[in-house]
Amino acid sequence: MPDLSAPSISYAGLAPVLLVLSAACIGVLVEAFAPRHLRWNAQVAIALLGTIGAVAAAVLLAGRNELTAARAVAVDGASLFLEGTIAALGALSILMFAERSLDPAKSAFVASAALPVGSASDRKLASAPYSQTEVFPLASFAIGGMMLFAASNNLLVMFVALEVLSLPLYLICGMARRRRLLSQEAAVKYFLLGSFASAFFLYGLALIYGFAGTVDLGELREAAAGSGSSDALFIAGLALLVVGLLFKAGIAPFHAWTPDVYQGAPTPVTALMAACTKVAAFGAILRLLYVGFGTSEWTWRPLIYSIAIVSMVVGAILGVTQTDVKRMLAYSSIAHAGFLLVGVIALGDNSTAGRGLASTLFYLLTYGLMTVGSFAVVTLVRDGDGEATHLSKWAGLASRSPLTAAVMTLFLLALAGLPLTSGFTGKFAVFRAAIEDGAWPLVVVALLTSAIAAFFYLRLVVLMYFSAPAEDGPTVGVPGLPTTIVLAVTAAATVILGLAPGAVLDLVEQAAVLVG
């Protein structure tokens, strides 16, 4: 038996992930030992410190290109950019978690998740100003898992990260204070379908190991380079891995969970899922396809090509039929996932590197910011029963609260990809990358579906501005400091990345490095 020696680990390179995960561990200890009245503030502070620290660490590490922990984790431009993006979006989501002034019971999270819905003690606690502060460490674990997911250069680490990010999310999905049954249903659905996806991924991993004898992405690429087209293990393994990742990214036809879970989960959690999980899943997709299967583009390109079309079409067309804001945004996220895949296509050939990686990274950042922002607006519009998410309730919102309507309109126009917003810059970047790569039919489909999707974004604008206010309409809550910060940051970023995106485009250009 050969000697087992511990691999050398560059703790500095892993600092962003470690910071968030240690914040999560400290959070668990706080939960166990700190008195209840201190917990909320302590948990918020710890979770924010962890995520913001991670952003800072990612910025400080910029320029590093190495593989660490026995080639299992990549520290390179792309992983650092993604880690920074996930941590930043995670910090914004945690700010939404920490909002105290919108719900009369001071939190969007349930007081005691274990109580059966409708039981006597549940009713008693419904308006109690307590809540499960475990959501903060859970969210930190999920964010840490996402960061590792996007940075892993090894299929096993990727799988572990997938589970680390998924399990806490399943839990916090079910912890809404209002409409608890819907929330719990969402959690169960997410858990069941997510387990399937994990199983797919694991099975694909096993097949790929059978084919290549390795789970390291770099070694896998060398093994794949010599493979013939008839290698069933390789093709099946790749397909199953991709299915698992597409599920996590919420891409049609593996999107079925998205609308239900987005609708049922507490809105801050929805924001976390819609923004961070998507960034992480696309990080993993990029790394898997570009690093692991970069030399066998012929195998995945037709697959991604067709799935991109399906996702854009499904997201845009089904989005039109939605009557609930959160479901509408869910279908919007499915369509946007399709647009992101348009960028993923543009790997480029061997002679010239495509702009796929850089443009996808940029799109992920812009998409994440406007998504968090739009869900933050959703938390503001409330009636007696919690958030008023039915579209009809939004009628005439502009006359009741012009600022809220204006901010929402900004996000909607950005999601629709109107010029002078970040959404347009992002779309332009991925479409240019795809056309340069010769995928112009895909871009034409993307443009047509953008037009369809614009219809449902506009419909909400029409409702807010051009319709008479509903009689028993919702009230627009006055956001506390955390949500105000989220709205200010996301709205400013949406405008700035639309007007003057130069610096960030430079950044993603430099960050578009994958080692391994």
Partner 1 sequence: MTHFPFLVILIGLPLVAGVGLLAVPEHRHDLIRRVTLLVSLVVLGLSVLMTVAFEPTGPRFQFVQSYPWIPDFGVRFSLGVDGIALVMILLIGVLVPVVVGASWNEGTDAGRGAGRGGSMRAFFAWLLVLEALMVGVFAATDIFLFYVFFEAMLVPMYFLIGSFGGPRRQYAAVKFFLYSLVGGLIMLAAVIGLYVVSANEIGQGTFAFDALRQISIDPDLQKLLFLGFFIAFAIKAPLVPFHTWLPDAGAEAPIGGAVLLVGVLDKVGTFGFLRYCLPLFPDASRAFAPAILVLAVLGILYGALLAMGQTDMKRLVAYTSIAHFGFIALGVFAFTTQAGTGAVLYMVNHGISTGALFLIVGILISRGKSRTIGDYGGVSSVAPLLAGAFLLAGLSSLALPGTNSFVSEFLVLIGSFGPYPVFSILATVGIILAALYILLMYQRTMHGPIKASTRGFKDLNKREMAYLSPLLALIIVLGVYPKPLLDIITPAVNATMADVGAAQSSAPPEGGGGD
* Residue 160 sits in the site that holds partner 1 (CB under 8 A): no
Q: How many H helices and E strands in the chain?
A: 21, 5
Stretch that binds partner 1, among 7-15, 119-127, 191-199, 431-439 (CB under 8 A): 431-439
Q: What is the SS3 string spanning 168-187?
A: HHHHHHCCECCCHHHHHHHH
Q: Which residue has the tokens 């710890």?
A: 46
* Residue 509 sits in the site that holds partner 1 (CB under 8 A): yes
Stretch that binds partner 1, among 92-100, 364-372, 435-443, 483-491 (CB under 8 A): 435-443
Count CA atoms closer than 13 A to 365's CA, side-chain side. 29
Mask for 128-157, x = binds partner 1 (CB under 8 A)? ------------------------------
- Helix (H), strand (E) at residue 428: helix 422-436
* Residue 454 sits in the site that holds partner 1 (CB under 8 A): yes
Closest by CA to 373, choosing from 246, 235, 267, is 267
For residue 166, what are its two tokens? 């998924």
Quickly list DSSP for 88-134. Answer: HHHHHHHHHHT--SSSTTS-SB-S-TTSPTT-HHHHHHTT-S---TT
Count of residues that interact with partner 1, criterion CB under 8 A: 38
H helix intervals, 381-421: 397-400, 402-416
* Residue 403 sits in the site that holds partner 1 (CB under 8 A): no
CB nearer to partner 1: give 106 or 336.
336
* Residue 492 sits in the site that holds partner 1 (CB under 8 A): no
CB nearer to partner 1: give 16 or 319.
319
Spatial contact of 106 and 129, defined as CB atoms under 8 Å apart: yes
Residue in 444, 478, 481, 496 binding partner 1, rule: CB under 8 A: 444
Stretch that binds partner 1, among 161-169, 317-325, 337-345, 428-436 (CB under 8 A): 428-436
CB nearer to partner 1: give 353 or 505.
505
Residues whose CB is less than 8 angstroms from the CB of residue 2 and which lie 6 or more positions away in sequence, other chains included: none
Distance between CA atoms of residues 167 and 280, nearest Å: 15
H helix intervals, 273-383: 278-286, 297-320, 325-345, 356-380
> In the bound complex, what is the minimum distance in angstroms from residue 397's beta carbon to partner 1?
12
Residue in 184, 450, 483, 490 binding partner 1, rule: CB under 8 A: 450
Stretch that binds partner 1, among 131-139, 376-384, 410-418, 484-492 (CB under 8 A): 410-418
Stretch that binds partner 1, among 64-72, 168-176, 237-245, 466-474 (CB under 8 A): 466-474
Which residues of this protein are in contact with partner 1, per CB under 8 A? 396, 398-399, 413, 416, 418-420, 424-425, 428-429, 431-432, 435-436, 440, 443-444, 447-448, 450-451, 454-455, 458-459, 462, 465-468, 500-502, 505-506, 509
